[in-house]
Chains A and B, each alone.
Chain A
Amino acid sequence: MKLKREKQQTKAPKATIRERVADSLDASKEVILDFAHLEFIGNREVTVENYKSIAEYTEKQIIVETNPHRIKLCGSDLEIKSIAREMLYITGKISAVEFKREV
């Protein structure tokens, strides 16, 4: 896994083979690329699918570990409505989303 990640990082600006395969197959990318799938309803609700873990949880910000990003959700009155293995359901007033490559 680690090896792979390094590989991806080096080719970061270019589209990877996986991405190109996904493009050409016209299939849903989160399945083939193993990315997280985020779905927002305005700034009130967000569901995060295919996540790894919760790194931080406060009312002001929630950090969710996904592959390959670490997603930071900022806002106020953030609340995790439910935690299941495949899905995270967060409500509150979301003001910012940030994607960070794990170092």
Chain B
Amino acid sequence: MSGADLLGYIRGYVAICAEGRFLERFLNICMRRGILLWDVKRRGDTRIDACISIKGFKELRGIAKKTKSRVRIKSRHGLPFLIFRYRKRRFAALGVIVFAVLLWYLSTHIMGIDITGNERLSNTDIERELKNAGLYRGAAADKIEPRSVQNKMMTKFDDIAWIGVNIKGSRAYIEVRERLDTERFEERDLPCNLIAARDGVIRLLKVRSGQTAVKVNDMVEKGDLLVSGVMDSTKEGIRYAHSFGEVYADTEYQKSRIYPLEYTEKVYTGEETERISITVLGKELRLFLKDSAPYEYFDEAKTSAEYTVLGGKLPPVTVKRSSFAEYVPQKKNRTAAQAIDLGKAELEAELKKEIPRSAEICKVSVTYSEAVEGSVEVTVKILCNENIAVQSAIDKIGNMNYNEESENT
């Protein structure tokens, strides 16, 4: 029975000192009215020190009058006084509220998803489907039904033999069991065709399995059948095969652009500003009040980086930066030769990004024409040799007609 415990602290209490000649009576009246006193210390003949709750203290005035004693407050303790003292600090109060809300939010919503046991499926694929099933970072934890999430995931991924969804506090633990390899192997044997990924002229055929439908020097368009997985022979009837192999073709990449001889050039002033925003749980928090550039002419460069916090224990934080570089436009002239050089370099660099790495570049050609007065049109053509065969699955019934057609041609 003391005011020093937590409850006493929350309610608050005062240490008082009572002076008078009938202090026993004072104590008795307090007792009868149910006012709790503690740490009552006798200090000489006419004085008593004690502790009393705030509520009890308010009733003391009458008692003190009755017993002709004087009551003084020695010290105040507890939360109510603390709040009173800091009542003007609104932002501190706001901070307390924000803290409470944050604590509530962080402890009742999913803050992290741990996926274990997946070997072939990627975490991002699983997370995307989990999100469709209602489980994502920031979802209310008590609204998620693990069973329904499990069912949805099982129907979504054929490759999953079993999935466990456990929600512990604000983390979700996803345990994945994938099908065994033997079960998968049949799928790799499924019949399929090889079709063209790009337009081109066939130069070399290296077919290991399947019936070749094209010859060398044939022109093919994107999506054309190259190797058929359906084999038709008089002896055995129709047979399906998992066709694979490589088909090399000459392909062409082309790009053209008009370069005016009179142009404006960006002269950078060197002024730069950055706007940073932080995204947590899909909610963006701007660190700057203004989102736009403070300049009239500017180039914007955006970068975004994702950081994991505490080794993935907390949801990832995405930091987006957009930096603005100021420039002053300046009118300039150039000769046709300069424009062609620039165009060649620019277009070639752009095209090389498009060409797959496995392709072999055979020839680069540049053509130009002065179609419009005062400008040059530059065209860059790159000739490549690459494997254009990609697999495409056939379902047995649907493909019959298609196969007959290709045989007729």
A12 proximal to B (CB < 8 A): no
Q: What are the interface flags for B33-49 relative to A under an 8 Å C-beta threshold, 1 for contact and 0 otherwise?
A: 01011111110010010
Q: B31–A89 contact, CB under 8 A?
A: no
Q: B28–A82 contact, CB under 8 A?
A: no
The smallest C-beta distance from A55 to any residue of chain B, in angstroms, reads: 6
Alpha-carbon distance A53/B36, docked complex (angstroms): 14
Alpha-carbon distance A53/B26, docked complex (angstroms): 10
Closest to A51 in B: B31
A58 proximal to B (CB < 8 A): yes
Q: A83–B40 contact, CB under 8 A?
A: yes
B335 proximal to A (CB < 8 A): no
Q: A57–B36 contact, CB under 8 A?
A: no
The 4 closest A-B pairs by CB, nearest first: A80-B40, A82-B38, A53-B28, A82-B1
Within 8 A of B (CB), among A78-103: 78-85, 89
**Majority SS at the chain B contact face:** mixed
Alpha-carbon distance A34/B28, docked complex (angstroms): 19
Question: Which residue of A53, A55, A81, A85 is within 8 Å of B1 (Cβ)?
Answer: A81
Most A CB contacts (10 A, CB to CB) among B2, B31, B36, B38 go to B31
Enumerate chain B residues within 8 angstroms of A53, measured Cβ to Cβ.
24, 28, 31-32
Question: Which residue of B1, B23, B38 is within 8 Å of A57 (Cβ)?
Answer: B23
Q: B1–A84 contact, CB under 8 A?
A: yes
Question: Which residue of A57, A82, A85, A89 is within 8 Å of B42 (Cβ)?
Answer: A57
Enumerate chain A residues within 8 angstroms of B42, measured Cβ to Cβ.
57-59, 78-79
Enumerate chain B residues within 8 angstroms of A84, measured Cβ to Cβ.
1, 31, 34, 36
Alpha-carbon distance A52/B39, docked complex (angstroms): 20
Q: What are the interface flags for B131-151 relative to A under an 8 Å C-beta threshold, 1 for contact and 0 otherwise?
A: 000000000000000000000
Enumerate chain A residues within 8 angstroms of B2, measured Cβ to Cβ.
81-82
Binding site for B on A (CB under 8 A): 53-59, 78-85, 89
Closest to A65 in B: B28
B366 proximal to A (CB < 8 A): no
A85 and B32 contact, Cβ closer than 8 Å, known pairs A57-B42, A59-B42, A79-B41: yes
Question: Which residue of B27, B36, B38, B41 is within 8 Å of A54 (Cβ)?
Answer: B27
Q: A81–B40 contact, CB under 8 A?
A: yes
Q: B36–A82 contact, CB under 8 A?
A: yes
Q: B39–A85 contact, CB under 8 A?
A: no
Most B CB contacts (10 A, CB to CB) among A53, A57, A78, A83 go to A83
Q: A54–B28 contact, CB under 8 A?
A: yes
A83 and B37 contact, Cβ closer than 8 Å, known pairs A53-B31, A57-B42, A89-B1: yes
The smallest C-beta distance from A59 to any residue of chain B, in angstroms, reads: 5
Enumerate chain A residues within 8 angstroms of B30, measured Cβ to Cβ.
83
Within 8 A of A (CB), among B1-59: 1-2, 23-24, 27-28, 30-32, 34, 36-42, 45, 48
Enumerate chain B residues within 8 angstroms of A80, measured Cβ to Cβ.
27, 37, 40
Enumerate chain B residues within 8 angstroms of A56, measured Cβ to Cβ.
24
Enumerate chain B residues within 8 angstroms of A81, measured Cβ to Cβ.
1-2, 38-40
Alpha-carbon distance A56/B27, docked complex (angstroms): 10
Q: A57–B27 contact, CB under 8 A?
A: yes
Closest to B43 in A: A59
The smallest C-beta distance from B17 to any residue of chain A, in angstroms, reads: 15
20 extra interchain contacts, Cβ-Cβ under 8 A, other than A80-B27, A82-B36? A53-B24, A53-B28, A53-B32, A54-B24, A54-B28, A54-B31, A55-B24, A57-B40, A58-B42, A58-B45, A79-B41, A79-B42, A80-B37, A81-B38, A82-B1, A82-B2, A83-B36, A83-B40, A84-B1, A85-B34
A57 and B24 contact, Cβ closer than 8 Å, known pairs A83-B30, A84-B36, A85-B32: yes
Alpha-carbon distance A84/B32, docked complex (angstroms): 8
Enumerate chain B residues within 8 angstroms of A59, measured Cβ to Cβ.
42
Enumerate chain A residues within 8 angstroms of B34, measured Cβ to Cβ.
84-85
A-B contact pairs, 27 of them (CB 8 A): A53-B31, A54-B27, A54-B28, A54-B31, A55-B24, A56-B24, A57-B23, A57-B27, A57-B40, A57-B42, A59-B42, A78-B42, A79-B40, A79-B41, A81-B38, A82-B37, A82-B38, A82-B40, A83-B30, A83-B31, A83-B36, A83-B37, A84-B1, A84-B31, A85-B32, A85-B34, A89-B1
Closest to A91 in B: B39
The smallest C-beta distance from A8 to any residue of chain B, in angstroms, reads: 24
Alpha-carbon distance A58/B27, docked complex (angstroms): 13
The smallest C-beta distance from B214 to any residue of chain A, in angstroms, reads: 101
The smallest C-beta distance from A66 to any residue of chain B, in angstroms, reads: 13
Most A CB contacts (10 A, CB to CB) among B1, B27, B42 go to B42
The smallest C-beta distance from B48 to any residue of chain A, in angstroms, reads: 7
